[in-house]
């Protein structure tokens, strides 16, 4: 943080990062404690449960946000959530028929997080198949999904509050972790590490993004304190390698994994959270270290991910509203729009080889296939693996970027193969028409990104909620700008 | 110093056999319960974990996780090599399962063992009381006899140990009481005889001195035996 801002915050005795004395003095014990969750003043609690979604920031942060907005006008304009009755900007209002269809798909996918969450811990199963462990990424998506379900009236306010609180309490007290990094797969009943899984940086980020969304949604309640506490206890610099990048994970048996987040992909959410931390931030240089490789496919320029999987362009955008943000010359929103277009075009170009592509389906992304879970993807990519398998969540999560194309394909899929690909939790994981293979299971992360992206295309609610978080503004101030340094070709 | 070696270890056969049975029974029961609970606790978790359905689930999950790792980190192994990766995952998971089963069984066993220990403690209190009660009562009886109470009747509760010892003590007390009664009667008779003898011995100095000496000795004897309570009294 810049020294003048720290001084303003310190002089005003504000909570959060600005409350820390500028020259290493004692840290003020505010509502956001590093070590323990302090008791909440009664005046901040509302009848023991959280409030409904509202835009008002908590009283303690108002002066700080005001000072921050004055000090950094360009960033405040970039990060300020635009008004959203209906979605705006690059999004177009949905037709009533489409709204109805998306409501059904979203509600069915949401049900996954009611049925597949452990009733005692709130941890969400990685997949619907028997014996699947809990996944912290799915649990993170579940936290955000519960907020959406409450806002849409699918579950009562009290039930949503109880479920979110139970989950966050489990994460705080029982979920195995190393310096605030949680294990990828855990026992749903106990929270213990299973399957020799790694303490995963990206999955921790997905969990914490959900926790921060819930914290903002249930602002002024214990959930806000719990969510913020979990975020503040993660020691992001510990996960950094000598290259100045974040490692993909750590295992007790072998130490840090060799793989790092060194390409553009869903890892930008991880970097955004690590750079925003008020307690253990990583240096700003880390943001500029990962590779932004650009290639044009069929006339569409894309800063592409290594495998070209569509989800790599979507996960971070489920939480972060990139529409008015620029990383130098790059607008990642536009990049995801371009990536969706390139993915669709790639499927058209490969239509002769695969029946699924011929029928107009697209959205090549990581998911279940006839040979197991594969990192499917499309050009541009270093390795574009595809075998005709379609994972429908790829199209659903592309709704904000190209609603017309995604809706057309989804409608065609429901009309043509609805009985085989659609079930109690919405779309199943994948299908391959060439091999007449149909997945029988649902994956937590697939249903999660579906619920969140449908909500964003319908109301922008997840973006609004997440972007109100005071912490994420640190990253915005450090790494993002309102105006592009130069126009992205095709944008 | 002479060393005495016991030739017979079952000196009080009945008592010793009873207490040997109690000790062996308690230990066998504890061991059997702990063993059975450990066995049931562990195997009730492990056996279902090795059922065909569960093994199929685990194989699928190992395969999925291995594939997910490959999808994220890049394909590092394929075909037979991928099987090794999955086998490694499965092996790690089986170790986790066993460790978890052991931990779970221990956690469940701890309160059960505490209850068993409490039950054994209560039983040992009752059993030891059958020995400690009579010992206490015999100690009290011996103390009373030392104080001259020869009118005691030593009674133990039904089922108490050391009843033979109590019977022997009662016989000793009864014998002692009979002896004391007879001595007291003789003292009375001697006292009466001396009273009759006194006028006759008044004429002779030597005889008078002898009577006086006899009276003095008889008085001492009378005082000695007056301390003994020999009339039967209600049981203590």
Residue B29 has pLDDT above 80, yes or no: yes
- Best probe of the A interface among B56, B63, B64, by most A CBs < 10 A, is B64
Contact (CB<8Å) B61/A192: no
Which chain A residues have a beta carbon less than 8 Å from that of B54? 131
Residue B69 confidence class, pLDDT cut points 50, 70, 90: confident
Q: How many CB atoms lie within 10 A of CB B197?
A: 15
Provide the shortest C-alpha distance from residue A416 to chain B (in Å): 28
Residue of A nearest to B64 (CA): A373
Residues of A within 8 A of B68 (CB-CB) are: 373
Measure the CA–CA gap between A458 and A164, rounded to whole angstroms: 23
Is B65 at the interface with chain A, CB within 8 A?
yes
User: Residues A31-59: pLDDT tens digits?
Assistant: 333 334 444 444 444 433 333 333 333 33
Nearest by Cα to A299 from A341, A259, A252: A341
Q: Is the pLDDT of residue B177 over 60?
A: yes
Closest-CA distance, A253 to chain B, in angstroms, reads 11
Question: Sorting pLDDT into bands at 50, 70 and 90, what band is A65?
Answer: very low
Q: What is the pLDDT of residues B190-205, one digit of tens each?
A: 999 989 988 888 888 9
Task: Kindly indicate the confidence band of residue A483, based on its pLDDT and cuts at 50, 70 and 90.
Answer: confident
- Asked whether the beta carbons of residue A259 and residue B93 sit closer than 8 angstroms, the reply is no
* A459: pLDDT strictly greater than 50: yes
For chain A, the residues whose C-beta falls within 8 A of a C-beta of chain B are 127, 129-133, 185, 187, 190, 192-197, 248, 257, 259, 306-307, 366, 372-375, 383
pLDDT > 60? residue A321: yes
The interface pTM score, or ipTM, of the predicted complex is 0.72
Provide the pLDDT for residue B1: 57
pLDDT range class, residue B104, cuts 50, 70, 90: confident
CA distances to A110, A168, A170, A427, A428 from A441, rounded to whole Å, are 15, 26, 26, 9, 6
Average pLDDT, chain B: 85
The mean pLDDT value for A121-141 works out to: 97
Confidence of residue A93 (pLDDT cuts 50, 70, 90): confident
Q: pLDDT (tens digit, 9 = 90+) per residue, B127-165?
A: 888 888 889 999 999 999 888 888 888 888 888 888 888
The larger pLDDT score, comparing residue B116 to residue A436, is at A436
Given this model, what pLDDT does residue A458 score?
96
B30 CB within 8 Å of a chain A CB: no
**Taking residues A57-66, what's their average pLDDT?**
40
Report pLDDT for B109: 82
The pLDDT of residue B74: 66
Distance separating alpha carbons of residues A235 and A199, to the nearest angstrom: 12
Q: Using a CB-CB distance cutoff of 8 angstroms, which residues of chain A are in contact with residue B78?
A: none
The answer to whether the CB atoms of A373 and B93 lie below 8 A apart is: no
B90: nearest CA in chain A?
Answer: A195
> DSSP letters of A253-292?
TTEE-S-B--BSSTHHHHHHHHHH-SSSPPPTHHHHHSB-
Q: Which of A132, A196, A373 sits opposite B93 (nearest CB)?
A: A196
pLDDT given at position B71: 83
| pLDDT, mean over chain A | 84
Q: Do B72 and A127 touch (CB under 8 A)?
A: no
- d(C-alpha B217, C-alpha A12), whole Å: 111
Compute the distance between CA of residue A402 and CA of residue A407 in angstroms, rounded to an integer: 8
Cβ pair A131:B92 closer than 8 A: no
Our CA-based measurement puts residue A402 at a distance from the nearest CA of chain B, in whole angstroms, of 26
Q: What is the pTM of this model?
A: 0.73
Provide the pLDDT confidence category of residue A212 given band limits of 50, 70 and 90.
Answer: very high
Nearest CA in chain B to A202: B72
How many Cβ atoms sit within 10 Å of the Cβ of residue A17? 22
Please, what is the Cα angle at B187 between B183 and B188, to 5 degrees? 120
Q: Which residue in A132, A257, A374 is closest to B71 by CB distance?
A: A374
Pick the residue of B51, B68, B78 with the most A CBs within 10 A to test the interface with A by mutation. B68
Taking CA–CA distances from A443, the nearest residue in chain B reads: B64
Q: Per-residue pLDDT averaged across A303-308, rounded?
A: 96
Q: What is the pLDDT of residue B85?
A: 81
For B3-33, give one letter per residue: b (16+ CB within 10 A) or e.
eeeeeeeeeeeeeeeebeeeeeeeeeeeeeb
Of B25, B3, B90, B48, the closest CA to residue A196 belongs to B90
B89 touches chain A (CB under 8 A): yes
Q: In this model, does residue B233 exceed pLDDT 60? A: no
Say whether B67 and A131 touch across the interface (CB within 8 A). Answer: no
Which pLDDT score, from 0 to 100, does residue A101 have? 97
């Amino acid at each position: 943080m810049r020294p003048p801002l720290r001084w303003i915050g310190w002089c005003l005795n504000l909570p959060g990062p600005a409350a820390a004395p500028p020259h290493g003095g004692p840290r003020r014990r505010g509502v956001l404690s590093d070590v323990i969750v302090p008791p909440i003043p009664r005046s901040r609690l509302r009848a023991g449960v959280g409030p409904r979604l509202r835009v008002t920031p908590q009283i303690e942060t108002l002066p700080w946000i005001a000072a921050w907005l004055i000090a950094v006008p360009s960033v405040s304009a970039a990060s300020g959530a635009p008004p959203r009755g209906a979605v705006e900007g690059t999004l177009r209002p949905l037709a009533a028929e489409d709204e109805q269809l998306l409501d059904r798909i979203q509600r069915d996918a949401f049900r996954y997080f009611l049925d597949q969450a452990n009733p005692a811990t709130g941890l969400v199963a990685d997949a619907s198949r028997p014996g699947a462990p809990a996944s912290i990424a799915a649990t993170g998506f579940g936290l955000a999904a519960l907020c959406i379900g409450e806002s849409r009236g699918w579950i009562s306010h009290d039930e949503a509050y109880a479920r979110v609180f139970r989950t966050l309490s489990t994460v705080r007290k029982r979920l195995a972790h190393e310096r605030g990094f949680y294990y990828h797969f855990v026992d749903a009943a106990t929270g213990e590490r299973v399957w020799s899984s790694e303490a995963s940086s990206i999955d921790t980020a997905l969990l914490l993004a959900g926790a921060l969304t819930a914290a903002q949604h249930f602002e002024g309640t214990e959930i806000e304190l719990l969510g913020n506490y979990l975020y503040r206890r993660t020691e992001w610099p510990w996960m950094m390698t000598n290259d100045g990048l974040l490692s993909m994970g750590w295992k007790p048996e072998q130490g840090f994994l060799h793989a790092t987040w060194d390409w553009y992909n869903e890892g930008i959410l991880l970097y955004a959270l690590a750079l925003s931390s008020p307690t253990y931030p990583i240096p700003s240089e880390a943001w500029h270290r990962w590779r932004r490789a650009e290639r044009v496919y069929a006339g569409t320029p894309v800063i592409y991910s290594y495998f070209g999987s569509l989800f790599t362009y979507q996960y971070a955008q489920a939480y972060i509203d990139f529409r008015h943000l620029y990383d130098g010359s790059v607008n990642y929103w536009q990049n995801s729009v371009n990536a969706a277009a390139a993915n669709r075009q790639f499927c058209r170009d490969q239509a002769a080889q695969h029946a699924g592509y011929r029928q107009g389906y697209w959205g090549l992304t990581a998911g279940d296939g006839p040979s197991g879970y594969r990192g499917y993807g499309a050009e541009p990519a270093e390795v574009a693996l595809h075998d005709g398998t379609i994972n429908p969540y790829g199209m659903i999560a592309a709704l904000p970027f190209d609603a017309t194309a995604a809706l057309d394909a989804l409608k065609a899929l429901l009309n043509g193969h609805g009985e085989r690909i659609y079930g109690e939790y919405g779309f199943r994981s994948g299908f391959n028409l060439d091999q007449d293979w149909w997945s029988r299971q649902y994956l937590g992360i697939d249903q999660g990104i579906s619920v969140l992206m449908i909500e964003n295309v319908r109301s922008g609610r997840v973006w609004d909620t997440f972007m109100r978080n005071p912490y994420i503004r640190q990253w915005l101030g450090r790494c993002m700008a309102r105006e592009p340094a130069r126009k992205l070709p095709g944008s | 110093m002479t060393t005495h070696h016991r030739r017979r270890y079952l000196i009080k056969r009945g008592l010793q056999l009873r207490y040997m049975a109690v000790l062996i029974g308690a230990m066998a029961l504890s061991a059997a319960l702990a063993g059975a609970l450990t066995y049931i606790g562990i195997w009730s978790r492990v056996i279902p974990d090795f059922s065909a359905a569960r093994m199929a689930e685990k194989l699928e999950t190992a395969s999925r996780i291995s594939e997910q790792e490959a999808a994220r980190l890049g394909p590092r192994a394929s075909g037979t090599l991928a099987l090794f990766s999955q086998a490694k995952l499965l092996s790690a998971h089986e170790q986790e399962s066993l460790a978890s089963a052991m931990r779970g069984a221990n956690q469940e066993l701890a309160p059960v063992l505490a209850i068993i220990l409490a039950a054994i403690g209560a039983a040992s209190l009752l059993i030891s009381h059958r020995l400690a009660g009579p010992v206490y009562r015999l100690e009290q009886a011996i103390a009373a006899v030392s104080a001259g109470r020869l009118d005691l009747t030593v009674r133990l509760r039904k089922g108490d140990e050391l009843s033979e010892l109590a019977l022997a003590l009662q016989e000793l007390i009864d014998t002692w009481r009979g002896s004391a009664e007879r001595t007291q009667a003789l003292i009375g008779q001697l006292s009466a005889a001396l009273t009759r003898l006194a006028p006759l011995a008044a004429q002779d100095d030597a005889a008078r001195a002898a009577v006086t000496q006899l009276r003095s000795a008889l008085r001492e004897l009378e005082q000695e035996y007056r301390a003994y309570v020999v009339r039967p009294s209600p049981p203590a």
